[in-house]
Structure formats: C-alpha cells, structure tokens
Chains A and B, each alone.
Chain A
C-alpha cells in the first residue's frame, strides 16, 4: 500500500475501514448505525471503497422492513382508532357515525376499528345502532400494534414474531398508499467484508495514526474557534483533473496586434490612425498611382454610395499632386502625361491600403520622424480562407537624411529579427507603385522555407515633394497576418475574426 494512495482516502472511507476487522460482515445500514453516518454517506463510502478494491461484496440479502408513516406517528400520539373508540364508548352511549365524527376519524379507519373490537367481542350494536360495551380490555392485536408504533426506526421483518408479522401486515401497505400507519418496504441488503488490500490499508493507516477525523476545507469557523490547532489536515489528490474556468480575457489576435504596436514603439515609431472612409486622392493619387493605373478600377476598391464625393481636397496638396501627375511639377519627374481628373480624386472609398495614412502623415510629419499604423483596410476580394473583405495592415514611414538603401536593409533586418526571430534573411528587389527603389525581405521559416516578411522602399520624389517633404522617406510594410496565423496554428484567415465565443475563449496566447 503506497502512502500516496492512503492519503488520498476520503475521511468517510477511512472511518469505515478502521471500524471493521478482517472477515467481519457489514452493510450500509450497519455502518449507518455503528458509525452514526447518514445512509447517503455510508453508501458513498462503500462505493468508493469498492472501486478501490479495499472492500468486496460477499452476499446479497432480500429483506423486508416496515417504516412508520406520518399517520402511524399521529396514531402513536393520539392512540390507535380502536383504542380511542373503546375509551369513548366506555364513557357514553353513541352511534358509530357519531363516534367517528367525535374522534375525527375517517370512515374507513373508524369502521375497521369497530370491526376489530366487534370481532374480538368487545362491543356490539343495539337495535337503535347505539354501540354497547361488552368488555373494555384491549384486543391482543391492538396491543401489539401499539408496541410496534413505539419504535423509533424502521422495523426489520426478521426481528418480528409470526403473530407480529401477521398483525403488522393488517396495517401495512407498499409504497405510495396512504391511510395506513406502516409502509412495507422490500429491500436488498448487500453484505461486504474487507479485502486483503483493505486489511493492509488499515494496518498502514493505524501505523500513521490516521483516524479519518483529519480536517477538511478550512472554514471561517475553524479559524474563529482555532479548532485546527493540533489537528492534521487531510491531504487532497492534487493530481485530479481540475474543472474548467471561464475567465475574462483579451482576444489573442488583438493581443498580438498590441505586441506589434509595442514593438514598433520600442523602435521609436509613433502611431498614426485615421478614418475608414477615404478619398481616391489620399488612397492613390497622392501616392503617384496614375488614375488610369491597372489596379485602380471598380474591381479593386469599394466605392461609397452616398455621399459620393468629399467636399474638398486640402490645398496645396491637391494642386501639387495634380501637376505632378500631369507633368511632374517641380519634383524632377516627367509625370504620367495625362489630364488629372479633379472630380474623380474626391471620390469617396473605403481605404484599400494603410499607405493612405502614411501619405496624410507626411503633410504634418516631424523630421527626423518615424511613424507607423496597424490599420484596418478593405479589399474587393471574394472572401475565402486566404482573402478577407477587411483586415489589418502594418506599415509606416521614416523621414530623415539617414534614409538610404543601406538603412532600408538595416530596417528590414531589424524587422526580420524582432518580429520573426529570423536567422536567415535575404533581400530581393521589390515593386511598389509609390517607392523607388524597393526591396523585399524574405526570411527562412524552419518548416515552410523562404517566405516574404515585408517590403520597403524610398518614397518617390513625386510623392514626397508634392506633400512638402524634401528629405528621403522610407516607406515599409510587414505582413503580420501570416505570422499571426502561423503562431495561432490556424489555416483560415477568417478565424482571426471568429465570432464563435467557444473558439475564441479556448484559443491560447501568442507571442511575436
């Protein structure tokens, strides 16, 4: 017997074990009696001990017992109906009907009380139906019944004489019937003895001085009365599987976004944010994407139904950008050589790229300055496992005279190390409509191989000069959703925005 198993016994189990000896037979009802447990506790202890193979079933006994009903308890108080009827007719002359009313009996019990007395020759009726007393001594079966009613607990049939059994059955019915003083219950009693393991267990428990009276849960009363002093605490089974707790919690994906933001702040970046509804001007024109650009048609952005146009585009940005598109303006470019549409540029849309906020930030940026945004953008895509209608983009800008290709590479390297813990990095030329030159950074993932982490480039002078900036500006973006899905082990982008509470609340934390 291992100590660990012993300490895991419930006090009820321990008390049952310690109360018995080898080969001694016992049952739930004997435990109830000898250990003064309630029957439920006795049954629980037996069930646990049997499972642990500490006690074993040896036989089953069919037993009949009689319980005293509430009517029986009433009769015990007031007397049996026959007893009371005999007493009444000893004092006055009444009819049976008058006697029943006076004694407050029901007709059936009143009638049968008279029947018993009459059968035993104690009373009779005269011609006027008056009850005549012949002998005022109590019949034997009534006396027997009165004795049985004095019992404080159920009466086992095995403890009764033949006459007693005969008598009690006159007054007993099976479960569910009312109007009788006894309820007859047929019961199966299971007899147990200790197993070999059970005996060993008792020996071990005795050696350790365990009594089954060790303290359970610490209660305020225990503390108040100091009843714990010099007592021992019952050890619990600490390896039992715990219950599930539902807690209030951050969403792991938004926590992940927060980590991205915190990381960027730690690198000296200031956050920007702006409206979901934007203009073609800031979303694309200010980024020097020609209005006839292949990626700018009805199939690529969501247009707003009403209102359709912004009231105005701020000057001098509108004029600067329009001129730059048409002939390069003063940016050193030859421009796109077309007629810039100043109405189309006011068209309201749902922003389709976070760069819209980079462009707007340029108009009020500090130099040197570093800015970022984790922004919800909208894409005109069929929604499936790899495409969402709206999702987050992480990107930003760096303004300063130290911005060049080498620092661009340095920035991408920091991102690869800080966001992806990448050990192998490679750079390849990239293409973004608003940067030149442009570079992408790829990282080697241990499982899926080379993957693109992000891109960066130096904003075209057509963009920066039109918006009043005359130092080089690096623009960058990192693909965080790929990292998030990999960390969260999900294959479907839609799961990032799951509305299933169960799914979300069971999802574990992620770290960048």
Chain B
C-alpha cells in the first residue's frame, strides 16, 4: 500500500476549495484512500492509497483530479468536467528523439519519454515530481525491475539522446550524490544507490546507458543519474522525463500518468519519439497501430499515447451485480463522476450496454466488472439498500474440529489449562534443546524450514507441540504447582508421498510438571483420554526417542478397524537433559496425540 506525502497548500489549490478534515476523510474513502491525521508542522499530509491497480492516484495531482471530478460532476451534459489532456493529440518535436541500440532488445528493451516546460521548478514541485517518480518506480515498477523513471535538465541536453549498452570498465561519469568520477563497475560496487540496485544488472556484461549527442551521460539505467544532467535544480524550466523497462504496457501507463500529473501541475508537455531497430510488443501494438510507424528497418513510437482499448458492459450485467435496476443515464453519470466517459451501445446479445473510453492515466479496466465497480462508487454506497442473503444453507464444522472440542473438554476435565502457541520457532528451541546430538540431524530432516526467515527465531515450522509446552513451563516457574497444560494445534511433518512433500496434522500435546510426577501418572491420563474418546483397541510399545527417558516412554499404537496398527502418539517422562536445556528444575511428563489418528 503506497503512502504519499503531499503539500496541503498545493493540494487545496488544485482542489479549488479547503475541505475540513472529516470531509476530506470521507471524500478520500471513495478513492480507497485513508488519512489518519491533519497536516504536520511542515504543512504536509500523509495519505495511504489502498488500490494497487490505480497508480494514477499516487500523487497530489491524481488525487485532486479524481476528487474534483467526483464532486463537480452533476449532470451528463457537463462533459467538460472530465479532465482533458490535449497533448496526446499534438505532434512530437521531431528534433527530440531517443535512438535505441539493437543490443537493448535482450536487456531492457523499451525507453519512452516526454519533455515539460513553461514553468519554473520550485521546491514544492520538485518534491512532488520526485515523489511521483519514486512511487511509480518502487511500488508500480517493482523496485525498478519493471519500470524505472529518470528526470533530467533538458536545457543542457543535445538531442538526440542515445540508449545503448556501455562497457562498465571504460565508461565513467560523476553520479548523483558524489563528486568523484566513477566507472560503471565502481558505481555498482561503491555508490549506496548503486549497491542497492546492482542486482538488476548482475546478469549482464554491458550496462544500459542514456547519453546525448555530445556524449554527455544522462544516467546508468536503471541505477543512477549523472550529477550534472540528472540533478534538477530550483529554477530549471525544461525537463526530460523518461522511463525504461521490459513491459511496454506498464511503461506507457507510467508516461501517461506522469504527463497528466505534470499538466495538472501547470507544465506544458511535449511528446518525444523513440526509435527502435526492432519490433515492439505485438499485443500492445494492436491497440495503437495508428500512432506508430514501421519503417523498413526501425519502429518509431511517440509517447505519451492513449493506448487503452475501449471496454463494454451490458446494462443487464450491471443490474445483476448491483442487485438493482439502474437506468442508462444513471450509469453514465456515475461513470462520468469517476472521470470515465461512455456511450450507449447495443451489446453482443443486442441488449443495451455502455462502452467506456478508458482515461489515458488508468489501465485497471481488465474486465467489465471493473466498470461496474466504478458505477457503484459513482452512485455512492448510500444508493444501495442492504439485503440479507436469501439462499438456505446448512452450517457445520469440520470433523476434526468436532473431535478437537471433545478432546479439549476431556483435558479440561483432567485439570489442564489450554494454551495457544505460535507455529514458527528456532532450531534451538525445536531441535537442539529437544534432541540428543546424534538425533538432531534426523529431527531437522523431518521439519519444514523457511528459506527466507525474518530471523533465526522464526525459521522452522514446528513438527511437535512438545517444545512449545516445555518453553511454556520454562517461563511459568512462578505459577503455583502442579502445572497441567495442553495445546491443540497444527504441526507439519515432511512426507515424500504427499504432493506438497509434507503433511499438516492436528496434534494435542499435554504436559504435567510437579515434584512427584512420573510415568504412572501420565499413563493414567492417557488411559482416561482413550476411554472417554471411546477408542478401545490401543496399546503401548517401547519408545526410543531422546526427548524422553528410555523405558519410561511409549509409542501409542492404535489398531484400526481393518486390523492394521498405526502410531497415533508418544508420551512419557521428559529426559532430564531436555529439562536442563530449558532450565526447568521440576520433573515433567508429557505426551502428544495426532487427532487424525483418533478419527
């Protein structure tokens, strides 16, 4: 969920009014955004955006655009409230071109760009542009993997700009935040930003570079800008904004969002052409074939560009999903409030429907249901009356839940306090403290290990409840004895015959700590459990398990209805070595039963 910080002053000037905090809170809910407190002492508001498919809302301009459209649209005749961005229809400046080298096709194939001017950059605008860039790269662009955006001082650039691969040893420039000239290797190895993103280039021997016709370097893509062309200063009035990546659709949307935001912030946008010596993504080309020209040897692409295809939905589908009949004009007005203009069409089955024109800064209409949601929000949730679901269904718990409750009731009757423990733990707790050294490797082999743990304290999924019970006993010595505790929960053990290589079991573990407690006590407990759960055919076999004292512990064997014997648990006196490992000075007996084995 991206969070953005925006200038209250800029926000309200774009909105054209000053809302109260409560009004703002309510208005933001219709764009799935939240604000938790008024502006801070620097006049900045923090807003959290929940819809990850609407990157157009991750800026002050985007939020203002949506809120004012929603608020000011009162009737269908008022088409002009839908934001218009005329630069999409303008011709590119043919002098401004980015020429792409063929070698980029297998590295980072696309670069798109536009320029802005007509207004001097001030501090607020600079912060805003950097925030738009950052949110689009980090959140929408998956930390620059899919999309990275660069901003440059256009007044110093000699067109055309070249996008090519460079030798990392011989190519050098001064990157942002240093004064030293470094070669590309050194940037990735020593510069903080270089180190952070070095993995994006690790599999390539030559690195993507943007430079102008005078060989001035703009940036090492997608790592860092040059300290001269790429360090925007207050007062600059012409900027180049480009993005690179491998998913053309994501890049097109990124440019459209950024250009629309710049327009809203008062800049003039000029489209830029990029020239490729290879064909572009076919899926995308289909939707904007009129805007690109294929020459014999290369393809020209001009951006920003309206690339979205129109989408349709039938009135019937809208009414069904919204649970209420809604007229065409109500639907069109609701959509218009969301900034979406539409026209009436007969749909495929000759029912009435609407076709929407997708706003250039949005690409979240994958399916007709996405239009229906905009209709719903446009109408407002107050429009709908809550109704209880009507279908009759029978409620029930799982079989294992019914059994679990019976077992827990018996344990409570036997004087046990039920506990609930976390399922993740450490090798120390689950293995080292529990098993004799010779058995540890085998125990670990049975356990599910996490390959990317937060810390070694949460590295294993438990395969037994026993270590949790002992850990609990370790911290509970101040509670009056005897201690009788139990837990009923899940454990996971490896099992090669399973599709997932493991199985999840429901285990009931129990432990008694007392100064005079031994095998006979827990044996009686076990007999009581089996008696009341109504299992008659079971017996004990000697257990060889270093967690218990040999000869005072057993395997619990159940004879199944078909005659086969199945181990359903273990129990006995906990070995003093184990107690010592947990710093427990009270004798303990414990056991564990697999509930699936009792069904």
Interface residues of A (CB under 8 A from B): 244, 246-251, 253-254, 258, 261, 264-279, 292-295, 297-298, 302-308, 310-312, 328, 331-338, 348, 350, 366, 368-370, 376, 378, 380-383, 388-390, 398, 400-407, 409-414, 427-431, 433, 436-439, 458, 460-462, 472, 496-497, 499-502, 504-505
How far is it, in angstroms, between the C-alpha of A162 and the C-alpha of B390 when the chains are bound? 109
A499 to B472, Cβ gap below 8 A?
yes
B450 to A302, Cβ gap below 8 A?
yes
How far is it, in angstroms, between the C-alpha of A328 and the C-alpha of B398 when the chains are bound? 35
B398 to A302, Cβ gap below 8 A?
no
Number of chain B residues whose Cβ lies closer than 8 Å to a Cβ of chain A: 95
Contacting residues, chain A, for B476 (C-beta < 8 A): 499-502
User: Is B538 among interface residues, defined by CB-CB distance under 8 A?
Assistant: no
A497 to B369, Cβ gap below 8 A?
no
How far is it, in angstroms, between the C-alpha of A279 and the C-alpha of B391 when the chains are bound? 33
B412 to A275, Cβ gap below 8 A?
no
Known: A258-B405, A302-B450, A350-B450. A505 touches B366 (CB 8 A): no
B417 to A505, Cβ gap below 8 A?
yes
Question: Residues 452-470 of chain B: 1 if any A CB is under 8 Å from the residue's CB, otherwise 0?
Answer: 1110001001000000100
Known: A406-B324, A437-B369, A502-B476. A304 touches B449 (CB 8 A): yes
Contacting residues, chain A, for B419 (C-beta < 8 A): 251, 499, 501, 504
Question: Residues 415-451 of chain B: 1 if any A CB is under 8 Å from the residue's CB, otherwise 0?
Answer: 1111111111000000000000000000000001111
CB distance from A246 to the nearest CB of B (A): 6
Known: A409-B387, A462-B367. A251 touches B418 (CB 8 A): yes
11 sample A-B contacts, Cβ–Cβ < 8 Å, listed by A number:
A246-B480, A248-B484, A250-B418, A292-B146, A303-B452, A306-B501, A404-B320, A406-B323, A406-B386, A413-B386, A433-B52
Known: A266-B395, A389-B422, A502-B479. A348 touches B389 (CB 8 A): no
Chain B residue nearest to A505 in the complex (CB): B417
Question: Residues 335-363 of chain B: 1 if any A CB is under 8 Å from the residue's CB, otherwise 0?
Answer: 00000000000000000000000000000
A297 to B142, Cβ gap below 8 A?
yes
Partner of B499, one of A264, A310, A410, A411: A310
Contacting residues, chain B, for A366 (C-beta < 8 A): 393
Chain B residue nearest to A311 in the complex (CB): B499
B385 to A406, Cβ gap below 8 A?
yes
B483 to A304, Cβ gap below 8 A?
no
Contacting residues, chain A, for B485 (C-beta < 8 A): 501
User: Is B478 among interface residues, defined by CB-CB distance under 8 A?
Assistant: yes
B451 to A303, Cβ gap below 8 A?
yes
User: Is B321 among interface residues, defined by CB-CB distance under 8 A?
Assistant: yes
Known: A266-B395, A275-B500, A429-B377. A304 touches B422 (CB 8 A): no
Q: Which residues of chain B in 373-398 are interfacial with respect to chain A, using CB atoms and an 8 Å cutoff?
A: 373, 376-377, 381, 384-398
CB distance from A262 to the nearest CB of B (A): 8
B323 to A404, Cβ gap below 8 A?
yes
CB distance from A207 to the nearest CB of B (A): 45
Known: A265-B396, A305-B451, A499-B471. A407 touches B367 (CB 8 A): no
A271 to B484, Cβ gap below 8 A?
no
B51 to A431, Cβ gap below 8 A?
yes
How far is it, in angstroms, between the C-alpha of A246 and the C-alpha of B324 when the chains are bound? 58
Partner of B381, one of A294, A409, A501: A409
How far is it, in angstroms, between the C-alpha of A228 and the C-alpha of B449 when the chains are bound? 70
How far is it, in angstroms, between the C-alpha of A462 and the C-alpha of B53 when the chains are bound? 16
A403 to B449, Cβ gap below 8 A?
no
How far is it, in angstroms, between the C-alpha of A103 and the C-alpha of B475 when the chains are bound? 67
Known: A277-B500, A409-B387. 13 other contacts (CB 8 A): A273-B401, A275-B492, A277-B492, A294-B139, A298-B452, A304-B451, A304-B502, A370-B389, A378-B424, A380-B452, A413-B386, A437-B369, A437-B376
A261 to B500, Cβ gap below 8 A?
no
A333 to B367, Cβ gap below 8 A?
yes
How far is it, in angstroms, between the C-alpha of A298 and the C-alpha of B52 when the chains are bound? 18
Contacting residues, chain A, for B417 (C-beta < 8 A): 248-249, 251, 501, 504-505
Chain B residue nearest to A474 in the complex (CB): B389
Contacting residues, chain A, for B373 (C-beta < 8 A): 429, 436-438
B420 to A389, Cβ gap below 8 A?
no
B500 to A348, Cβ gap below 8 A?
yes
Q: Which residues of chain B in 271-296 are interfacial with respect to chain A, using CB atoms and an 8 Å cutoff?
A: 283-284
A407 to B323, Cβ gap below 8 A?
yes
Known: A253-B420, A389-B424. A429 touches B415 (CB 8 A): no
CB distance from B428 to the nearest CB of A (A): 15
B396 to A334, Cβ gap below 8 A?
no
**Residue in A312, A368, A428, A430 with the greatest tally of chain B CB atoms within 10 Å:** A428
Partner of A410, one of B51, B389, B412, B479: B389
B321 to A389, Cβ gap below 8 A?
no
B394 to A268, Cβ gap below 8 A?
yes
Contacting residues, chain B, for A253 (C-beta < 8 A): 420
CB distance from A108 to the nearest CB of B (A): 47
Contacting residues, chain A, for B30 (C-beta < 8 A): 428-429
How far is it, in angstroms, between the C-alpha of A461 and the C-alpha of B391 when the chains are bound? 21
How far is it, in angstroms, between the C-alpha of A126 and the C-alpha of B468 when the chains are bound? 90
Contacting residues, chain B, for A333 (C-beta < 8 A): 366-367
Contacting residues, chain A, for B369 (C-beta < 8 A): 436-437, 458, 460-461
Interface residues of B (CB under 8 A from A): 29-30, 32, 50-53, 139-140, 142, 146, 247, 249, 283-284, 309, 320-324, 366-370, 372-373, 376-377, 381, 384-398, 400-401, 405, 408, 411-424, 448-454, 458, 461, 468, 471-473, 475-476, 478-480, 483-485, 488-490, 492, 499-504
A404 to B451, Cβ gap below 8 A?
no
How far is it, in angstroms, between the C-alpha of A401 and the C-alpha of B51 when the chains are bound? 27
A429 to B422, Cβ gap below 8 A?
no
A376 to B52, Cβ gap below 8 A?
no
How far is it, in angstroms, between the C-alpha of A366 and the C-alpha of B387 when the chains are bound? 22
Known: A273-B400, A497-B422. A328 touches B366 (CB 8 A): yes
A334 to B321, Cβ gap below 8 A?
no
Known: A389-B422, A428-B381, A504-B417. A383 touches B450 (CB 8 A): no
A271 to B372, Cβ gap below 8 A?
no
Contacting residues, chain A, for B384 (C-beta < 8 A): 405-406, 409
Partner of B412, one of A246, A248, A370, A382: A248
Chain B residue nearest to A253 in the complex (CB): B420
How far is it, in angstroms, between the C-alpha of A380 and the C-alpha of B50 when the chains are bound? 19
A383 to B458, Cβ gap below 8 A?
yes
How far is it, in angstroms, between the C-alpha of A270 and the C-alpha of B480 when the chains are bound? 41
Contacting residues, chain B, for A265 (C-beta < 8 A): 395-397
A382 to B454, Cβ gap below 8 A?
yes
Known: A350-B461, A389-B424, A497-B421. A436 touches B367 (CB 8 A): yes
How far is it, in angstroms, between the C-alpha of A383 and the C-alpha of B368 when the chains are bound? 41
B500 to A310, Cβ gap below 8 A?
yes
CB distance from A363 to the nearest CB of B (A): 14
Contacting residues, chain A, for B322 (C-beta < 8 A): 404-406
A398 to B366, Cβ gap below 8 A?
no
CB distance from B251 to the nearest CB of A (A): 13
**Residue in B367, B389, B411 with the greatest tally of chain A CB atoms within 10 Å:** B389
Chain A residue nearest to B247 in the complex (CB): A338
How far is it, in angstroms, between the C-alpha of A268 and the C-alpha of B396 when the chains are bound? 8
B502 to A275, Cβ gap below 8 A?
yes
A402 to B448, Cβ gap below 8 A?
no
How far is it, in angstroms, between the C-alpha of A327 and the C-alpha of B577 when the chains are bound? 60
CB distance from B286 to the nearest CB of A (A): 11
A405 to B323, Cβ gap below 8 A?
yes
Partner of A275, one of B397, B480, B503: B503
Partner of A405, one of B376, B420, B424, B503: B376
**Residue in B51, B140, B387 with the greatest tally of chain A CB atoms within 10 Å:** B387
Chain B residue nearest to A307 in the complex (CB): B501
Partner of A370, one of B367, B395, B408, B500: B395
Known: A400-B389, A458-B321. A276 touches B504 (CB 8 A): yes
B376 to A461, Cβ gap below 8 A?
no
Contacting residues, chain A, for B411 (C-beta < 8 A): 248
A439 to B381, Cβ gap below 8 A?
yes
How far is it, in angstroms, between the C-alpha of A475 and the C-alpha of B479 when the chains are bound? 44
Contacting residues, chain A, for B367 (C-beta < 8 A): 328, 331-334, 436, 460-462
